[in-house]
Amino acid sequence: MKSLLRVSFAAIIATAILSPGRAQAQEAPGPIVFTNVTILPMSSDEVVPNQYVVVSGGVITAVGSADDVDAPPGAAVINGNGRFLMPGLAEMHAHVPPGANPPREEVEDILFLYVANGITTIRGMLGSAYQIPLAEEIEGGEVLGPNFYVGAPSINGGSAPTPEAAERLLRAHAEAGYHLQKIHPGVSRETWNHMVEVAREVGLTWAGHVPADVGLVHAIETGMSTVDHLDGYIQAIASDDVQAQVSAGQTCPVGLADALDEAKLDQAIRMTIEHDVYVVPTMYLWENLCGRPDANELLQQPEMRYVSPGTREGWRRRAGGGQGSPEELAAFFQLRKRVLKALSDAGAGVLMGTDSPQLFNVPGFALHRELQVMADAGMSNYEILKSGTVAVGEYVASHLGLDGNFGTIAPGQRADLVLLGSNPLDDLANLFDRVGVMVRGRWVGRVEIDAGLEALAAKHSG
């Protein structure tokens, strides 16, 4: 390898934190080389030691041994000796503040929390018009944040009570430039069927909840892009006699937990795969939403420092008493885990997501709690990490029709990377052992991440 200009981490920071979540507008970062690093390509579960990774223009331009890789002149160097480099993670059911004009600082704080946790891609699942130019600002380097795929304001029973109303929304959302259409409950089957026709015509995929009148089977058969929260799966796999006794629109159908029909489970999994539908399970949220969380205990979690007192108090008030006995809830959560494990084992597409900042879910930090529930369900560390890396690139290409060249470490891939001090394939907790995060070639080191988090904590200390 040609000689390299060696500089300190501080000198190669491509993003300066002005306040939590805010970055300076600046020119594109220069070339950077990670030296002697162990890479997790994520195209497989292999680990490749002693590699050099060159990043230029926001793209990985070379990967290989010291003998095979030449760095561009003037490239800055990040020493990867003893460290692990993997693709950045994705949060595929994210929320940024809704509304026409939310406080800019609040928006950028949330974006920073994602980046600080190694999340370099988000799919926003309840859009507003301001988010489309915001995504462009992020892409252009004017704002520090993860790559942002923007879902349109939802089609639901209130916004689209008729097929004609759904058509008007879809056409307007496609014209505005949203990346996908969010679905909420309450949509009739007649409206759904017309929505499907129009969505195909305008080239806008749809994702989110499965309306009760539509049902999981019809939603899958008609081309739903992702089923979020495992919505509709528990209802679809319950035996007919018990299913008839429980409301199809229940958020937490606890009463169906002991009514599993194995043949229906097999059918649902087979259909999911045959129709190339992805699932975004949001397991951690559902355990808090449907269960009996101890609000006082959850609000003592370290990440609660980074949200406002008003948000924390709102979560405390929303914490419910569960929708069944402790035994029924345990059976319900175990069934959700079984469904997720069965989908994963069969090869269905699973995508990371938390629905942050919903109940007790601090953006970025909640993803790590989600991963632990996925592990408790029996998914391997590799399959879990795959759901936030290579699987996301595949989804973006196949369902959004956009550039899916990210989620692996290879030449030509977008330079969204996380440098770790230890191997997350050994232990998912090692994802917290971050040396720094790179988004589109911009490097944000540990010192800057910590400074931004401390500033946020100070702002919300009241």
- Comparing C-alpha atoms, which of 44, 43, 19, 158 is closest to residue 412? 43
Secondary structure (3-state) at 387: coil
405 domain residue, yes or no: no
State the pLDDT at residue 244. 65
Q: Are residues 103 and 77 in the same domain?
A: no
Please tell me whether residues 436 and 304 are part of one structural domain. Answer: no
Domain presence at residue 406: no
Quick check: is 1 in a domain? no
pLDDT of residue 250: 73
Task: Say if residues 396 and 207 touch (Cβ distance below 8 Å).
Answer: no
Q: Which residues of the chain have pLDDT under 70?
A: 1-28, 243-249, 321, 462
Cα(127)–Cα(259) distance, integer angstroms = 37
Which DSSP string do the residues of 277-307 spell out, in sequence order?
Answer: -EEE--HHHHHHHHS---HHHHTTSGGGGGS
CA distance 68 to 218: 52
Q: Is residue 172 part of a domain?
A: yes
DSSP letter for each residue of 150-211: EEEEEE-TTT-SSHHHHHHHHHHHHHHT-SEEEE-S---HHHHHHHHHHHHHHT--EEE---
Q: Is residue 4 part of a domain?
A: no
Domain co-membership, 381 together with 304:
yes
* pLDDT confidence of residue 14: 35
Task: Kindly tell me the burial class for residue 173, based on how many C-beta atoms sit within 10 Å of its own C-beta (0-12, 13-18, 19 or more).
Answer: buried
For residues 315 and 167, state if they share a domain: yes
pLDDT of residue 388: 98
d(CA 140, CA 161): 38
Least Cα distance to 335 among 224, 227, 255, 245 occurs for: 255
End-to-end alpha carbon distance in the chain: 53
On the CB side of 354, how many CA atoms lie within 13 Å of its CA?
29
Do 142 and 127 share a structural domain? yes
Q: How far apart are CA 419 and CA 34, in angstroms?
A: 9
Total of domains in the chain? 2
53 shares its domain with 108:
no
What pLDDT was estimated at residue 323? 75
**Domain check: are 424 and 385 in the same one?**
no
pLDDT at 7: 35
For residue 251, the model assigns a pLDDT of 78
For residue 317, give its domain range.
Answer: 89-400
Q: Are residues 73 and 94 in the same domain?
A: no
Strand order in the sheet with 206-208: 89-94, 119-124, 147-155, 180-183, 206-208, 226-228, 278-280, 349-350
Q: Which residue, among 54, 76, 79, 74, has the nearest Cα to 64 in the 3D structure?
A: 54
> Which pLDDT tens digit goes with each residue over 398-445?
999 999 999 999 999 999 999 999 999 999 999 999 999 999 999 999
Report the C-alpha gap between 357 and 21 in whole angstroms: 16
Based on the fold, state whether residues 188 and 302 are members of the same structural domain.
yes
Question: Is the same domain home to 79 and 146?
Answer: no
Q: Which of 387, 362, 372, 385 is closest to 457 using CA atoms?
A: 362
Q: Give the CATH number of the domain where residue 419 resides.
A: 2.30.40.10
CATH at 242: 3.20.20.140
- What is the rounded radius of gyration, in angstroms, for the C-alpha atoms of the chain? 22
| pLDDT for res 98 | 86
Report if residue 330 sits inside a domain: yes
In angstroms, rounded to a whole number, what is the distance separating the alpha carbons of residues 242 and 460? 47
Q: What is the pLDDT of residue 2?
A: 41
Q: Decide if 187 is inside a domain.
A: yes
Q: Which helix (H) or strand (E) holds 275?
A: none
Q: Exposed, middle or buried, 312 (CB in 10 Å: 0-12/13-18/19+)?
A: middle
pTM, to two decimals: 0.92
238 — phi, psi (to 5°)? -85, 150
What is the model's pLDDT at position 325? 84
- Phi and psi at residue 280, in whole multiples of 5°? -120, 95
pLDDT of residue 27: 53
Q: 327 and 259 share a domain? A: yes
- Strand pairing class (76-79; 32-39): parallel
Q: Answer yes or no: do 51 and 93 share one domain.
A: no
Provide the pLDDT for residue 259. Answer: 81
